[in-house]
Amino acid sequence: MTEPSPAPSATPVKTIAFVLYPGLTPLDIVGPLQVFAALADLVPGYRTVVVGERIEPVESDTPLSLAPSHTFEELADPYAVIVPGGLVPTLAAMADEELLRNLREIAARSRVVGSVCTGSLLLAAAGLLEGRRATTHWMYRDLLTRFGATPVARRWVEDGHVITAAGVSAGIDMALHLVGRLAGDGVARMVQLFIEYDPEPPFGPIDWTAADGGQYAPFARQLLENALAGHPALLAQLSN
């Protein structure tokens, strides 16, 4: 009697993990999270999670609080990990050794390591961008050089398995690019249609001359000093 053939194994699920920490900017995480949630609805084999140190709500830089779905210890082997950014709390988190340790450990288990906005500064502070091309929010792009990275003024930048996005809304662009890479351009276009991502800003495109001219440099410097007032060594490293 012929033995029945074994049932085909289930398709492994690719987990896209977003890192949550106090004080981040909600759009940095929610924008790309929504893109990947739409991917999971359209294509079997994907899921999105939000990972933090503890399962409890944390404040953002708006009145909205957010809560993780998993702790770092609960997440074994994510396919991708994406770190959102923010302003003063994110800059201060560059000195949070517990968070940086968790980022190093989860990045070592991930096939893709990404960031949005100043989230790349956390990757850099964790030693994950040394020798790589990367981007971040335009106000702090030059800080990447202090961690051994090469800053690039682009909407998103890929270098090996690392992908970094520029400020805030650029995370949606980066996420759509990754969806195209994972599931094909047709699926990415469908996700873009479903979330109706078709920007038409009421005041037209950004005028980059003010940013390029350093008009906001004193403001950026003051925020950095406020964030790292208790960490003079790191502040000095980022100021030289």
- Residues 28-84: pLDDT tens digits? 999 999 999 999 999 999 999 999 999 999 999 999 999 999 999 999 899 999 999
Confidence (pTM): 0.93
Band the pLDDT of 213: cuts 50, 70, 90.
confident
Per annotation, catalytic residue among 51, 113, 117, 188: 117
Active-site annotation holds for 117: yes
The answer on pLDDT for 129 being more than 90 is: yes
How buried is 211 (Cβ within 10 angstroms: 0-12 exposed, 13-18 middle, 19+ buried)?
middle
User: In a 10 Å sphere around its CB, with 0-12 CB exposed, 13-18 middle and 19+ buried, how is residue 10 labelled?
Assistant: exposed
Angle (deg, nearest 10), helices 170-183 and 185-194: 140
Residue 104 has pLDDT above 90, yes or no: yes
> What is the Cα–Cα distance from 223 to 232, expressed in whole angstroms?
14
Q: What does the alpha-carbon distance between residue 144 and residue 131 come to, in Å, rounded to a whole number?
A: 10
The dotted CATH code for 14-198 is 3.40.50.880
Angle at 75 between CA 72 and CA 79, to 5 degrees: 115
